[in-house]
Amino acid sequence: EGGHGPYQPHEPGYGLDQPGYSPYEDEIPDAQARMLAIKNAKAYLLKTSTKSGLNLYDHFATILTKILDEQPANTVDIIETISQDVKWAQFRKKMDTLRDEHLIPPTFEAAEKCKALFIKEAGEEEHEELDEEMGEPALPNVMETAFYFEQAGIGLSKDECYYIFLAFKNLISVQPIQTCRFWGKILGLEMNYIIAEVQLREGEEEEEEREGEEEETVAEEKEMGEGEEEEEQKEKEPEPPKSTYKPPPEIPKEANGTGTNKYVYFVCNEPGKPWVKLPPVTPAQIVCARQIKKFFTGRLDAPIVSFPPFPGNEANYLRAQIARISAGTHVSPTGFYQFPEDEEEEEGGDTYEENPEFEPPPVAEMVESLAMWAHHVKGILKQGRCVWINPAQKSEEDEEEGEEEEEEEEEEHQEETGQPLLTLISEDEGMKNIPAWTAQASTNLIPEYSIAILQSNRWPGAYAFASGRKFENIYFGWGHKYSPESHTPALPPPAEAEFPSEPGITEAADPTVEEELAFKAAQEEALAEAEEEEEEEGEDD
Amino acid sequence: MEALSLPAALSLVAGGGAGLSPELRAALGASLPLLQRDYRFERVWFWGCIQGVRGAYYIAQGLGPDRAAPRSRLYSLNCLDWSLLTPATEEMLALAEEVKGRFQGDPSFEYSLAEINPEAAARLVQSGKEPVMKEEARLIATIEQIDRAVGIVPRGAFVKTPLGSVHENRHFEGLSLVEAKKLSSYFHFTEPTDLKNKTLLEKADLDPSTDFLNSLEHDIPQGKGSWSIQLEKGGSVVVLRSLLWLGLTFYHVPMTKQFGYVYFGTGEKNLDLPFML
């Protein structure tokens, strides 16, 4: 009422805005009653709700204050959400203290860990002087590598790269490391893994091995002692028949520093968390890892539930996948590495050294022809090792009886040979019609500064770049091989066959009572006849 | 992800190792606004990149006023010159399911259906077309499949107006840290199918303006689901990675309006998922 502007005398509605003349005059009571009505309405609005303790009057007041403060556009469309938010804000104030305690820790803890990476220790200045004397620094230049890979669109954010850089610095100060490299990042379901490929200084590894062996011998002695006690007890009880099944001899893992165990790997979930050393990989683990395909969870002690059962937990599976990826995708420009000239070229040659006379070919050539790249990690044979070993030869620990049996049952193990060390990647087989590698230049617009990028199609996530004398390999992915067909898990072995039938154990129906009686009667008749004959003969005499 | 917030967003999803080179980023920064102008889109999203054997496809999406309407998709081989893709048809989707293997990287490449699926090839021949599938059609179908299966948004980010159209919720201030860790706080941004199956009790709790889409909790496989939720940087970014379409990464910064998803991958469905969990 009364909002339509001053009416001219000739218009209908003139004078209706005066008190006492509006169309609703009969409904509005007089002034006194109107004030009372207003008070009643206000008292109603001020009524506190029994459920929430709020009242409509204050609620509207808060909403209008908020709207007038913020002045959003198209307020009428979002008025309900504004109302909801105001109500929500009321509740938040009461529960503030509880919520603060829950929410703050994770973010700030992680921030503190990251900050700890930046702190420089007091004794580090001495270390720096030593490093200069010793020659090349062990710390890899992660940022430089990240720059080159970024030209191809591969890599982590700069912040994360820098945290990893600092984490490597910590690793080097803690562990006795000779060379170190950022291998890559493997994604997992709950957490990811950041992996460092490391060569420990020579003395340190032997000490660790000896410690391991000592622990093992002590454990064996304990077992022997217990076993003797058990045997004494068991002599009194009849023992169940022992099974004559002898599992196939275990293929020994390669020694630290050679083949699949050439490098030692350290992993951490995030930069800032402690580095954990992965155990060396055994051939059985590699053979099994080829048959299963599992996501990593991010916890190193998680069990791997699979068929065929994986001998180990997630740490072993991770190590096996790292070994496979390294063997399959670590490449360098052809000619960068060469076999040492002093030693004779053996087929199983594992060592290589840098070629001082290496001339880096131009980027265009590196992209066009895959023959410009070569593997510098030995491929893994079917056996699970890089160097083939005849499992039947290993019989030092077996009993003497066992040796004789083994010689009889020895199968012909065919010697497996893999490709020699520095094979060109152009000889890698593709799958169906997909080549094993895809080569690209990082940019076509500025060819003078472009670098050559290789992507592996067999292990999606493995990349390599080369620019002049610099090259590097890296892996970012889930840690699985690409297969054009779906993964088919191994079938369980066939059920045990029954013992072959022989006459001695073939079933036959038992004779029935009648048959037995008939047989008995027949036997008695025969006996009686025989007696009669004897009597007859006796009488003759 | 929003074209305008591309640089910041790319650094948040870089945890998976995939990203764009500086050259491509700069090219996108120049060409996406031009797309918006030429096609009169209200919003332009950079959808991601599908790696082929010989080259990669970069995909962008343009949205009109109704965000839930079928989106226009464009592809480019160099992030500069964009070509519009036709909308996906059911027939294309059915054929694309048959074709397996990597994308070749050449949009005019033809997959010979006679080798892959002779029945489909015979049907095509009968209807008068050649028994081949062009890589472009496969691309269209794959993008549509990925969007339908794993294109996700946080709960409350979009509201449905009474008229039926969907808009961004200007009042969305982000999920809280507790909510962000739950699968039920994220929705598939496609036609909902589950809503009718909910019991009346569940429906009573829903808010029809924000809960009009399928949530992620019912994604098969049940239990662990087909998503990996991780908090990076100590909880300042929550990243969801799809395990069904490896390469799809969704990020959200809790208590802020930033969210988005991007696909960097080979464009193949991970059918081994049940064996891998």
ipTM: 0.88
Q: Is residue A119 part of a domain?
A: no
Say if CB A475 and CB A461 are below 8 A apart. Answer: yes
Q: What per-residue confidence (pLDDT) applies to A410?
A: 40
Tokens found for residue B232? 């990076």
CA atoms within 13 A on the CB side of A439: 20
The answer to whether B236 contacts A154, with C-beta atoms less than 8 Å apart, is no
Name the DSSP class of A444. S
Q: Is residue A518 part of a domain?
A: no
Same domain, A453 and A348: yes
Q: How far is B195 from chain A (nearest CA, A)?
A: 23
A24, amino acid identity: Y
Q: Which of A170-184, A229-243, A339-353 has the highest mean pLDDT?
A: A170-184
What would the pLDDT profile of A126-159 be if each residue is shown by its tens digit? Answer: 444 444 444 445 678 888 888 888 888 888 888 8
Sign of CA dihedral A515, A516, A517, A518: positive
Q: Is residue A483 part of a domain?
A: no
Domain that holds residue A191: 131-211+251-387+417-477
Same domain, A294 and A200: yes
A417, amino acid identity: T
pLDDT score of A492 more than 60: yes
Mutation pick from A92, A158, A192 vs chain B, by most beta carbons of B within 10 Å, is: A192
Dmax over CA atoms of chain A, in Å, equals 174
Q: What per-residue confidence (pLDDT) applies to A126?
A: 43
Q: Which of A36-50, A184-198, A202-216, B62-76 has the highest mean pLDDT?
A: A184-198
Which residues in chain A have Cβ-Cβ distances shorter than 8 Å to B19? 150, 153-155
Q: Is residue A48 part of a domain?
A: no
CA A322, chain centre distance (Å): 10
Say if CB B149 and CB B244 are below 8 A apart. Answer: yes
B101 interfaces chain A, CB cutoff of 8 Å: yes
Q: Is residue A90 part of a domain?
A: no
Say if CB B101 and CB A434 are below 8 A apart. Answer: yes
Q: Is residue A33 part of a domain?
A: no
From start to end of B99-147, where are the E strands? 110-112, 132-134
Q: What per-residue confidence (pLDDT) applies to A485?
A: 79
CA separation for the pair B136, A327 (Å, rounded)? 36
Which residues in chain B have Cβ-Cβ distances shorter than 8 Å to A152? 21
pLDDT score of A172 more than 90: no
Cα dihedral B249/B253/B254/B259 (nearest 10): -60
Q: What per-residue confidence (pLDDT) applies to B75?
A: 92
Same domain, A300 and A374: yes
Q: How far is B87 from chain A (nearest CA, A)?
A: 28
Contacts of A373 (CB under 8 A, 6+ apart): A331, A332, A333, A334, A366, A424, A425, A426, A437, A454, A464, A466
pLDDT score of A321 more than 80: yes
Same domain, A190 and A274: yes
pLDDT score of A216 more than 60: no
In the block, residue with structure tokens 């509740």: A91
From start to end of B78-190, where are the E strands? 83-85, 110-112, 132-134, 152-154, 158-160, 166-168, 186-188
Say if CB A210 and CB A203 are below 8 A apart. Answer: no
Domain end residue (candidates: A477, A497, A526): A477
pLDDT score of A17 more than 70: no
The pair phi, psi for residue A201, each rounded to 5°, is -65, 150
B53 interfaces chain A, CB cutoff of 8 Å: yes
Q: Is residue A443 part of a domain?
A: yes
- Comparing CB atoms, the residue among B11, B12, B24 nearest residue A153 is B24
Say if CB B262 and CB B1 are below 8 A apart. Answer: yes
Window from A11-25, A209-223, A322-336, A350-364 with minimum mean pLDDT? A209-223
Which residues in chain B have Cβ-Cβ distances shorter than 8 Å to A151? 21-23
B204 interfaces chain A, CB cutoff of 8 Å: no
Which residues in chain B have Cβ-Cβ distances shorter than 8 Å to A455? 51
Q: What per-residue confidence (pLDDT) applies to B196?
A: 66
Q: How far is A259 from chain B (nearest CA, A)?
A: 28
DSSP secondary structure string for all residues of A49-71 = PTTTS-BHHHHHHHHHHHHHHH-
Output A240-247 pairs: Cβ under 8 A, ≥24 positions apart. Answer: A246/A402, A246/A405
Helix axes A96-118, A158-174, angle to 10 degrees: 60
Please indicate whether residue A316 or residue A49 has the higher confidence score (pLDDT): A316
Please indicate whether residue A464 or residue B99 has the higher confidence score (pLDDT): A464
A392 interfaces chain B, CB cutoff of 8 Å: no
Window from A177-191, A300-314, A369-383 with minimum mean pLDDT? A369-383
Chain A to chain B Cβ contacts (< 8 Å): 115
For residue A237, how many other CB atoms are within 10 A of its CB? 7
In the block, residue with structure tokens 């860790």: B181
Q: What per-residue confidence (pLDDT) applies to A342?
A: 58
Q: What per-residue confidence (pLDDT) applies to A278?
A: 92
Sign of CA dihedral A28, A32, A35, A36: negative
Q: What per-residue confidence (pLDDT) applies to A318?
A: 94
Residues of chain B with pLDDT under 50: none
Q: Which percentage of chain A shows pLDDT scores above 70? A: 74
What would the pLDDT profile of A29-40 be if each residue is shown by its tens digit? Answer: 577 888 888 888
CA atoms within 13 A on the CB side of A523: 6
In the block, residue with structure tokens 């080159």: A148
The pair phi, psi for residue B46, each rounded to 5°, is -85, 115
- Comparing CB atoms, the residue among B19, B22, B171 nearest residue A154 is B19
The answer to whether B19 contacts A461, with C-beta atoms less than 8 Å apart, is no
Same domain, A79 and A153: no
CA separation for the pair B123, B117 (Å, rounded)? 10
Angle in degrees, CA A502, A506, A512, rounded to 5: 150
Which residues in chain B have Cβ-Cβ distances shorter than 8 Å to A461? 17
Same domain, A66 and A155: no
Say if CB A254 and CB A386 are below 8 A apart. Answer: yes
B228 interfaces chain A, CB cutoff of 8 Å: yes
Same domain, A187 and A270: yes
A206, amino acid identity: E
- Comparing CB atoms, the residue among A156, A189, A486 nearest residue B271 is A486
CA separation for the pair B13, B50 (Å, rounded)? 16
CA separation for the pair B104, B135 (Å, rounded)? 8
Same domain, A257 and A189: yes
Please indicate whether residue A216 or residue B109 has the higher confidence score (pLDDT): B109
Domains held by chain A: number: 2
pLDDT band at A186 (very low <50, low <70, confident <90, very high): very high
pLDDT band at A324 (very low <50, low <70, confident <90, very high): very high
Domain end residue (candidates: A450, A477, A504): A477
> Per DSSP, what are the bridge partners of residue B158?
B168
Which residues in chain B have Cβ-Cβ distances shorter than 8 Å to A484? 100-101
Contacts of A275 (CB under 8 A, 6+ apart): A167, A170, A171, A174, A175, A196, A266, A267, A268
- Of A254, A297, A530, nearest to A389 (Cα)? A254
B162 interfaces chain A, CB cutoff of 8 Å: no
- Comparing CB atoms, the residue among B53, B230, B272 nearest residue A435 is B53
A110 interfaces chain B, CB cutoff of 8 Å: yes
Same domain, A314 and A439: yes
What would the pLDDT profile of A40-93 be if each residue is shown by its tens digit? Answer: 888 888 887 777 777 888 888 888 998 888 888 888 878 888 888 888 777 655
pLDDT score of A20 more than 80: no
CA separation for the pair B195, B207 (Å, rounded)? 12
Contacts of A379 (CB under 8 A, 6+ apart): A327, A328, A386, A418, A419
B29 interfaces chain A, CB cutoff of 8 Å: no
Question: Which H or E run contains A470?
Answer: strand A470-477
The answer to whether A190 contacts B24, with C-beta atoms less than 8 Å apart, is no
- Of A54, A80, A82, nearest to A68 (Cα)? A82
Classified as helix, coil or strand, A240 is coil
Same domain, A318 and A440: yes
- Comparing CB atoms, the residue among A107, A478, A489 nearest residue B246 is A478
Same domain, A145 and A80: no
pLDDT band at A348 (very low <50, low <70, confident <90, very high): very low
pLDDT band at A395 (very low <50, low <70, confident <90, very high): very low
- Of A454, A162, A478, A176, nearest to A318 (Cα)? A478
Contacts of B228 (CB under 8 A, 6+ apart): A187, A188, A189, A190, A295, B240, B241, B243
The pair phi, psi for residue A237, each rounded to 5°, is -90, 145
pLDDT score of A532 more than 50: yes
A487 interfaces chain B, CB cutoff of 8 Å: yes
The answer to whether A484 contacts B100, with C-beta atoms less than 8 Å apart, is yes
Say if CB B187 and CB B153 are below 8 A apart. Answer: yes
Asked, as a colleague might, if the bond just before B87 is cis with ω within 30 of 0, I would say: no
Mutation pick from A112, A148, A154, A270 vs chain B, by most beta carbons of B within 10 Å, is: A154
User: Three-class SS string for A157-186?
Assistant: CHHHHHHHHHHHHHHHHHCCEEEEEEEEEE
B181 interfaces chain A, CB cutoff of 8 Å: no
pLDDT band at A212 (very low <50, low <70, confident <90, very high): very low
Domain end residue (candidates: A477, A492, A514): A477
Q: What is the mean pLDDT of chain A?
A: 76
Same domain, A176 and A258: yes
Q: Is residue A510 part of a domain?
A: no
> Per DSSP, what are the bridge partners of residue B59?
B48, B75
Tokens found for residue B199? 């019991």
- Of A470, A462, A465, A471, nearest to A453 (Cα)? A465
CA separation for the pair A524, A137 (Å, rounded)? 105
Please indicate whether residue A220 or residue A153 has the higher confidence score (pLDDT): A153
The answer to whether B23 contacts A191, with C-beta atoms less than 8 Å apart, is no
Q: What per-residue confidence (pLDDT) applies to A266?
A: 92
A424 interfaces chain B, CB cutoff of 8 Å: no
